[in-house]
Structure 1
Amino acid sequence: MTTVMEQLQKQDPSLTTTGNGTVAVLFIHGFLDDQSVWDDVVSELAAADVQLLRLDLAGMGDRSGDEGPYSLERYADDVARVVGGLDRPVVIVAQSMGTLVAELVGVRHPDKVVGAVLLTPVPLAGTHLPEEAVGPFRQLGGNTEAQRGVRKYLGGGLNEFGLDKLTYIGDRIRPEVVTHLVDCWNEGIPDAPVESEFSSPVLIIRGEADPFATAELVSTAVSPRFRRVHEEVLSEAGHWPHVEQPRNVAGLIGRFLTDISEAPATAPGEANTQGWINAFASKSADDFGEAFHRDVVLEASVMRSPITGRENVKAVMSAASSIYESLEFTQQTVNGPRTYLEWHATAFGGLTIDGVTILTKDESGQIVSAAIHHRPLEAALRFSAELGKRIGKAMGESRFYSTE
């Protein structure tokens, strides 16, 4: 019988795995690299009770012959396919451009990805350097001498062996692919959220001598986006700390894994609560639907009567979330099957709306009822009227307050 791992490796022959622990650690390489950049870190972690997985992104490493498109979305699809096929919690370890992929995958699988280690990270929105700055990066493909020069400049702690290894890896990548890879990390994800939708713990590892992922870049455009983040700085390390100081990096990853394992276990249905929170960021009806029981009931202070059924509630929540200009969940409390979420939002050009949402779940963790309370009254009435304009014909205009 074919195992899940054999099926995954059939889909991506570059996927390699060692160990068989209770947690999977999946490594994602960065720009101009391949999975072999993690060799020394993986060796240091070999004795840990974890499953260690690596793969090459399309256009690099053993997949250097793969045709395009070469995009963050494609890379996230490939990695998400692996994560979805695993039968254990996953910690993603990624570097540079790979950190963008890691965040995208973590958002897609909040129930599976329990943590992320981001080395020398790039902002999800991209660096947006001017063309005169990124132009030389576009010309690196097929230019061994130029690649070595860039590696030496960015890798403050690279020795000659490390320089040789990284240059050899990068030299395998076709020039036309390199151009697209530069666009990946420079342009990033359009309309990237100010606050990351990934809510699990994040460890950021930065090289003190890295002139690219600098302290300023990380502190202003990366760290503040995550809710549960810790940063470590390695002295005398540059942009490739996993190659420059693999033992130190492995030690930090090992400590991070221990911290996660010692954290309180996830409560039943907690993933669906997080799915509800993430859905407000995506404003997607389908994302709301993943958390709902088929016969879910929605009550709200902005509606005169309840809405029942998964599809109806999905439509209402998607429309409601699109009215908010901003929404932040500020407090969360769990009491048996009920989760209480306190939130603060703005709409209608900055009008403040505060509220409390009560989610009730069944034994499987699916949401069977949701009660949403808005305040103050003026904001609630205006919200009700706007919601009626958007979905009143489909859901019944009498359910909503009218200004007419």
Structure 2
Amino acid sequence: MNPTHPTQPALVFIHGFLDGAAAWDDLARHLGDRAAGALRVDLPGMGARAGEPGPYSLERFAADVTTQVRALSRPVVLVGHSMGAQIAELVAQRLDERVRGLVLLTPVPLRGTGLPDDAMRTFHALGGNPVAQRELRRNLSVKLSDPQLEHLGQLGDRVDAAAVGTLADLWNNGHPSGAEPARYRGPVLIIRGAGDAFVTAQLISSGVTPRFEAPSVVSIERAGHWAHVEQPDAVARSVGSFLANLELASHTPVVPVAPQGWTRAFERKSADAFADAFDPNVVLEASALAKPVVGSDQVKTVMTAASKIYEALSFTHEAHNDPRNYLEWEVRAFGGEQMRGITVLTKNALGKIVHVAIHHRPLGGALKFSAELGRVLQGQLDASFFYRGA
């Protein structure tokens, strides 16, 4: 990807609560050429614009960023951190097709966190209290060095003490559109720090992923709420992979997967629908199984259970090389966790499936899926077919 080319998306970085454009320095450096020509926003009341007075609102911030993006006169990928993720989504609503991708980094749900007054007093008390501000940042981090902590702390020190509580209430109360499915329908990457005690995996799965269509979800090890500062290299790799996929998709013609017995069976999530597609002696092999499953009855039992674990499934590409049919797919399960894979179907002369090979990725998702299949099918299939944990 050449970000300086006017037809390629520019990165737009939107910082979070008490931060500023300079919070992206480490990530931009690790992204290298991919961050060339990027727009690093300072929001009103924070960063280099800390002196700009209120009133502040998510709507004002979104309008401000939208104006700056429109001035670029090129497509963009929005990258928002924490409260900045809320703003990035509101900007994506306004710019529609101008936005080629959305990266939500340790995102606060657009609907807000809804913390009670007692919990919010901690955030309100940060105004004019550099020690408390740094202590909070350290508590919500895993791998912030002292220089990194001080760099972020100095950004927070600039914010008018009287405005801190107002800014905290913005992300806590959220935006009304956060109660609805996301209006932005394009590619989404969600990144969280594995050690983030604020934006937890549960908060992501309940308040963020369900609103988007098949978002990619990445967890960064040894990172907390400021993953882009704590582990910029790992975050840069995730963002870089997302950008590469966007570029590949822009050059790949979309060929709809033709409806067939296999795909219709997944739509119906019905044992009878799967049985109709299978030869009586069909064999199923999969990366989520410890050994092959043999026979139509057992295979349809496994596939029916699997189809019900999936929260969303889309077949994205297919290819044929008789007697084999290759299907590429994306699924969402376990509260929004995304997996991808390839299914290879081998058919006999009658068009019945005699062999199924299913390849899940990543490994963690395949193991989790296997364990869940074993739980659902307990008493129906022997436990030796499934992963049982360490």
Name the residue aligned to 2:218: 232
Which aligned pairs between 1:134-153 and structure 2 lie closer than 5 A?
Answer: 134-153=120-139
Q: Distance in 1 between matches of 2:56 and 2:168?
A: 10
Task: For residue 260 of structure 1, give the secondary structure of its aligned residue in structure 2.
Answer: helix
Q: Considering only aligned residues, what root-mean-square deviation do their CA atoms show, in Å?
A: 2.4
Name the residue aligned to 1:380: none
- Further displaced range: 83-92 or 145-154: 83-92
Aligned counterpart in structure 2 of residue 163 of structure 1, from 149, 156, 171: 149
Aligned counterpart in structure 2 of residue 181 of structure 1, from 160, 164, 167: 167
Q: Which runs of 5+ in 1 are unaligned?
A: 1-17, 268-329, 332-404
Q: Distance in 2 between matches of 1:228 and 1:115?
A: 13
1:236 Cα offset (Å): 1.0
Task: For residue 183 of structure 2, give the secondary structure of its aligned residue in structure 1.
Answer: coil
Name the residue aligned to 1:86: 72
Report the TM-score, using the length of structure 2 for normalisation: 0.62
1:265 Cα offset (Å): 5.6
Distance 1:185 1:266, change over 3 A: farther
1:216 Cα offset (Å): 0.3
1:37 aligns with 2:23: yes
1:264 Cα offset (Å): 4.0
Name the residue aligned to 1:294: none
* Partner AA of 2:4 in structure 1: N
Q: Distance in 2 between matches of 1:162 and 1:171?
A: 14
Name the residue aligned to 2:183: 197
* Partner AA of 1:200 in structure 2: G
Name the residue aligned to 1:111: 97
Q: Distance in 2 between matches of 1:20 and 1:162?
A: 29
Q: Distance in 2 between matches of 1:49 and 1:80?
A: 19
CA contact (8 A) 1:27 1:55 kept: yes
CA contact (8 A) 1:89 1:113 kept: yes
1:68 Cα offset (Å): 0.6
Report the TM-score, using the length of structure 1 for normalisation: 0.60
* Partner AA of 2:213 in structure 1: R
* Partner AA of 1:20 in structure 2: T
1:87 Cα offset (Å): 2.4
Aligned counterpart in structure 2 of residue 246 of structure 1, from 228, 232, 240: 232
* Partner AA of 1:120 in structure 2: T
Q: Distance in 2 between matches of 1:214 and 1:48?
A: 29
Deviations 1:221-254 (A, max 9, x none): 1011111300000111000001001111111111
Q: Distance in 2 between matches of 1:192 and 1:229?
A: 16
CA contact (8 A) 1:83 1:112 kept: no
Q: How many residue pairs were aligned?
A: 255
Task: For residue 263 of structure 1, give the secondary structure of its aligned residue in structure 2.
Answer: helix
Task: For residue 45 of structure 1, give the secondary structure of its aligned residue in structure 2.
Answer: helix
Name the residue aligned to 1:172: 158
Task: State the percentage of identical aligned residues.
Answer: 46
Distance 1:28 1:266, change over 3 A: farther
Aligned counterpart in structure 2 of residue 258 of structure 1, from 238, 244, 265: 244
1:193 Cα offset (Å): 3.7
Q: Which runs of 5+ in 2 are unaligned?
A: 254-312, 315-390
Q: Distance in 2 between matches of 1:246 and 1:42?
A: 8
Q: Distance in 1 between matches of 2:149 and 2:204?
A: 25
